Amino acid sequence: MIRERHLFGPGPSNPYPEATRALADPLLGHLDPEFLRIMDETCEMLREAWGTSNARTLPLSATGSAGMEAAFVNTVHPGDVVVVAVNGLFGQRMTDVAARCGAEVVAVEHEWGQPVDVDRVLAAHPSPAIIAAVHAETSTGVRSDIAALGAGKGDALLLTDAVTSIGGIELRADDWGVDIGYAGTQKCLGVAPGLAPFTINDRAFERRVETPRSWYLDLGMLGGYVGEAGLKEGGKAQRTYHHTAPTAMVASLHAGLTRILGEGLEAVWARHQAAGDALQSGLEEMGLELFAAEGHRLPDLTTVRVPEGVDSAAVRRELLDRHGIEIGAGAGAYATSVWRIGLMGHNARPDAVLLVLAALEDALGR
Ligand SMILES: *Cc1c(COP(=O)(O)O)cnc(C)c1O
């Protein structure tokens, strides 16, 4: 059943109409000059969205999790100390991925719902090779201060998950000292899932693993994939076959980014903030308790405690069946005690906020 609107990005998302339409356009071959133009422009627009001038900025052909894998498999040498800030599910996952790459993982655990404690993370080891943190923890609805980690990282590389921040909240990879970053398309970019916007600077690229254990995600080979134009300003595109680019997905991302940059990144961030603020005060007015620490709440993903005695799943089902609204269950230990309400991309609008508040009020009989 096709539902008109969904409020939680990680489920079936609500892509911008342009991005949806691009998926229905006639397919282009992956070496068609028209596609190569679209790819080059997509990489250029991704640089803007990331806030970077990194030549190596491209959409990896797989979901955000593959971005995470690419980040670690290309930069972790066996025995490297990797400090990981863990304040939710995705930070936890980073520790697993880093360990599989042979890292000596130093996990800095936080209570869920709290932001990353920058001082504790920076003090966790005297000379880590990598410091890794999630900018926007989708599992808890918390924003962390990546710029502060960048300012204190010393000689370490800073590796950042921006899956739920790109195109939704302020993100300035270069200004903040991010050396390696990965993101996803289906959260605030409002495009179907399936690509991982990725960026790595020269400093991190020079320290990369010569022969990573992953062939597909070997960044050393991807220069040929995006072409010289993707790597050198004004360079001539020289594509060598690495894998077939998912042309429809890239065209869809191109359409989504065109829309976002047309609106203006700062305007997009402000729209998300206004929607999140309105939702969060509306929930509090209903007497509900927000989960994420005050002052560190994401506008695009709100976590709220399920009231005592309320069947979390029944309310979610009612919202979906009666109103076509999808809200998420909590993550991990909070599966039935927290709801996660996304206002991402197209859904970060006042009418979506009013609708979800009214529907929730109705479902809870408040
Ligand atoms: C959704 C998400 C991921 C994983 O992305 P997939 O596209 O589902 O593979 C990683 N990190 C964060 C913070 C996310 O929200």
CA of 281 to the centre of ligand 1 (A): 27
146 membership: H or E segment, kind and range: helix 146-152
pLDDT-above-90 percentage for the chain: 83
Rounded CA gap, 60 and 196, in Å? 5
Ligand 1 binding pocket includes 90 (Cβ within 6 Å) = yes
Query: Nearest 10 degrees: CA dihedral of 150, 151, 153, 155?
Result: 110
For residue 366, what pLDDT is reported?
Answer: 78
Backbone angles phi, psi at 10, to 5 degrees: -65, -15
119 membership: H or E segment, kind and range: helix 118-122
For residue 2, what pLDDT is reported?
Answer: 37
pLDDT-above-70 percentage for the chain: 92
Rounded CA gap, 237 and 11, in Å? 36
Mean pLDDT of 184-198: 94
What is the secondary structure of 168-236 as a DSSP string? Answer: TS---HHHHT-SEEE--SSSTT-S-S--EEEEE-HHHHHTS-SS-S-STT-GGGHHHHH-HHHHSTTPP
Residues 33, 236 contacting (CB under 8 angstroms): no
Q: When comparing pLDDT for 51 and 346, which is higher? A: 51
Ligand 1 binding pocket includes 164 (Cβ within 6 Å) = yes
| Cα–Cα nearest to 259, from 11, 82, 2, 15 | 15
CA of 277 to the centre of ligand 1 (A): 23
Give the confidence band of 236 by pLDDT, cuts at 50, 70, 90. Answer: low
Give the confidence band of 13 by pLDDT, cuts at 50, 70, 90. Answer: very low
For residue 324, what pLDDT is reported?
Answer: 86
pLDDT in tens, 240-295: 788 999 999 999 999 999 999 999 999 999 999 999 999 999 999 999 999 999 99
Ligand 1 binding pocket includes 19 (Cβ within 6 Å) = no
For residue 232, what pLDDT is reported?
Answer: 56
Best substitution site from 90, 93, 143, 165 to test ligand 1's pocket, by max atoms within 8 Å of Cβ?
90
The DSSP secondary-structure symbol of 28 reads P
For residue 3, what pLDDT is reported?
Answer: 47
Best substitution site from 161, 163, 302 to test ligand 1's pocket, by max atoms within 8 Å of Cβ?
163
Global confidence as pTM: 0.94
pLDDT in tens, 96-149: 999 999 999 999 999 999 999 999 999 999 999 999 999 999 999 999 999 999
Q: Is the pLDDT of residue 12 over 50?
A: no
For residue 335, what pLDDT is reported?
Answer: 96
Give the confidence band of 16 by pLDDT, cuts at 50, 70, 90. Answer: low
Ligand 1 binding pocket includes 97 (Cβ within 6 Å) = no
For residue 15, what pLDDT is reported?
Answer: 52
Ligand 1 binding pocket includes 138 (Cβ within 6 Å) = yes
Mean pLDDT of 160-176: 98
For residue 227, what pLDDT is reported?
Answer: 65
Q: What share of the chain is helix, strand, coil (3-state, %, to 5)?
A: 40, 15, 45
For residue 237, what pLDDT is reported?
Answer: 54
Q: Read off the amino acid at residue 95.
A: T
For residue 257, what pLDDT is reported?
Answer: 97
CA of 137 to the centre of ligand 1 (A): 9
Best substitution site from 138, 142, 144, 198 to test ligand 1's pocket, by max atoms within 8 Å of Cβ?
138
pLDDT in tens, 195-218: 999 999 999 999 999 999 999 999
Q: Is the pLDDT of residue 229 over 90?
A: no
Q: Whose CA is nearest to atom 12 of ligand 1?
A: 163
Ligand 1 binding pocket includes 58 (Cβ within 6 Å) = no
CA of 77 to the centre of ligand 1 (A): 24
56 Cα distance to chain centroid: 18
Ligand 1 binding pocket includes 301 (Cβ within 6 Å) = no
| Cα–Cα nearest to 205, from 42, 40, 63, 71 | 71
Q: Whose CA is nearest to atom 2 of ligand 1?
A: 163
Rounded CA gap, 221 and 241, in Å? 10
Ligand 1 binding pocket includes 16 (Cβ within 6 Å) = no
Q: Whose CA is nearest to atom 6 of ligand 1?
A: 64
CA of 90 to the centre of ligand 1 (A): 7
Q: When comparing pLDDT for 10 and 117, which is higher? A: 117
Structure tokens at 351: 């009418």
CA of 186 to the centre of ligand 1 (A): 9
For residue 33, what pLDDT is reported?
Answer: 92
Ligand 1 binding pocket includes 282 (Cβ within 6 Å) = no
Spell out the domains of the chain, with CATH numbers in brackets: 6-12+264-364 (3.90.1150.10), 17-262 (3.40.640.10)
Ligand 1 binding pocket includes 63 (Cβ within 6 Å) = yes
Cβ burial, residue 173 (10 Å; 0-12/13-18/19+)? buried
